[in-house]
Every structure is written in C-alpha cells, then in structure tokens.
Amino acid sequence: MIDLHSHILFGLDDGARDIDESIKIIKEMYKYGIKKVIASPHFMEGVYNSKIDIIKEKIKILHERIKEEDIDIEIFSGAEIYMDIVILDLIKNNNIITINGSNKYVLIELPMGQIPMCSEKILFVLLTGGLIPIIAHPERNHEIRKDIKRLKKWIDNGVLIQINGGSLAGRYGTTIRKTAERLLIEGYTHSIASDSHSSYHPFIFYKGIKRAEKLIGREEVDNMVNKNPEKILS
C-alpha cells in the first residue's frame, strides 16, 4: 500500500520526536503492508515552518537507517499545509511544498472547526495554477460533518479528498466515523491514509482499511490505497 499522509519525520512537528520513534512507526507501517509513504509534516505559519531542504535531509537520514534495519519501504517528500491565506504567498513565491516535488499535488489541511472564508480563493488559485489540492481528513471538519455535499463543488472542480483510516476505525469518535463512512459510500473519497503520528497509527489505519472493504469492497479500496496514490506519486 501507499500512504499519502504521515508525520514520520523526527523533530519537525507533533509527530515522531526522534529518529528511533520514526523507525518504530516505519516498522509498524511495513508490518501492515505499507511499502511507500509520503512524509508530510505540518506547515502552519508561526507554528510549524518546515522547509523542503530540511524535509529532504531528514528523509535521506531515514533512508540510511532503513537500509541498516533492512526495511523495504520508500519515503517521499511532502507537507500538510494548513488552509490559510498564507498559501497564496507560498504559491506566489514558488515556495509551496508539493508531493514528491511534483509541482502538481498539494496536501491541504482544513481546520477542525469552520471552513475558512479564504478557502474558495485558495482552491481557485491552486487549480488555475496547475496545482491539485488534496484535502486531508475533511471528515474531522465541523462544517463538513454537518453537510458533506459542501465538498461536491470542490470535487467537481478537480479537488481530491483523503480520509483517515483512523476515522473509519472510530479513533476520533462515532460522528467522525459516520462522516468518513458517508464520504466513502457517496464516492467523495480518492485516498485513505494513516496520518501516522505514532507507532499505534498504522494498526488503526489497517483496521480502518478493513472497515472500508466491508463498506465499498476490496477493489474500490485498492484504488484508494494503491492505484490513486501511485498516480499521484508518478
């Protein structure tokens, strides 16, 4: 499987604290069938300001350690960029971090509460500039939980949706689980990811995958954890 969203890079955000914890998470990912993973540390102005050169350096260090540990897993660069007006400056200055340096796919995090007023403008600027936003775990957003059809216009315009395996497994509560299930069943989901912050999350991700298979079938889930992510990477 390919995991589009994780916080495995040590010392950059609220994910892995040190390299040993990074390796512990990666071992668990491999155990549950993940062979490729996007390292997507938070980018939130004034809180987490990860730069692409630092991200690449951390990935290089991890790859060296992974080789020593004989773990057959690949790590690719990315970032989870908070939905904020600062994104427009990142685009203008060509500083926005894309998945695997593709200059095409960008992982965007919605706040947990309201959808920011600037969202429509940000998505418009991204799309018209040739960048495809992937919205991370919208099932955790309060407004989306009230009306998932708010995502339809975005999807129709080319935005992709990523939900968390943990949401399907009930990690964040019943309401979020039911919203994630509706997003799956209604066809509003393009990928399922782990959003791993600790070594516990790969197990929860796997549990969520099994729940998804019961809801929409193994073939559709394969699209979300293999085929679609592979297209994004390549």
Q: In what order do the strands lie in the sheet with 2-6?
A: 2-6, 36-39, 74-77
Percentage of the chain modeled with pLDDT above 90: 98
The dihedral over CA atoms of 207, 213, 215, 217, expressed in degrees to the nearest 10, equals 180
Looking at residue 232, its pLDDT comes to 97
pLDDT tens-digit profile of 95-117?
999 999 999 999 999 999 999 99
Q: Which of 35, 27, 75 is nearest to 198 (CA)?
A: 27
Predicted local distance difference test score (pLDDT) of residue 128: 97
Q: Which residues contact 2 (CB under 8 A, 6 or more apart)?
A: 34, 35, 36, 37, 38, 225, 226, 229, 230, 233
Quick one: how far is CA 12 from the chain centroid? Answer: 16
> What is the pTM for the complete model shown?
0.97
Q: Is the pLDDT of residue 7 over 90?
A: yes
Say if residues 190 and 228 touch (Cβ distance below 8 Å): yes
pLDDT digits (tens, 9 = 90+) for 130-164: 999 999 999 999 999 999 999 999 999 999 999 99
For residue 221, the model assigns a pLDDT of 98
List the domains of the chain with CATH numbers: 2-233 (3.20.20.140)
> What is the rounded average pLDDT of the residues 168-184?
98
* d(C-alpha 29, C-alpha 196), whole Å: 9
Confidence of residue 167 (pLDDT cuts 50, 70, 90): very high
Which pLDDT score, from 0 to 100, does residue 108 have?
98
Computed over every residue of the chain, the mean pLDDT equals 97
Whose structure tokens read 């593709």? 102
DSSP strand pairing (48-49 vs 74-77): unpaired
pLDDT, tens digit, 9 for 90 and up, residues 42-97: 999 889 998 999 999 999 999 999 999 999 999 999 999 999 999 999 999 999 99
The span from the CA of 44 to the CA of 47, in Å, is: 5
Residue with tokens 């990860």: 50
**pLDDT on residue 50:** 87
* Look-up of token digits 């500083």: 95
pLDDT value at residue 46: 86
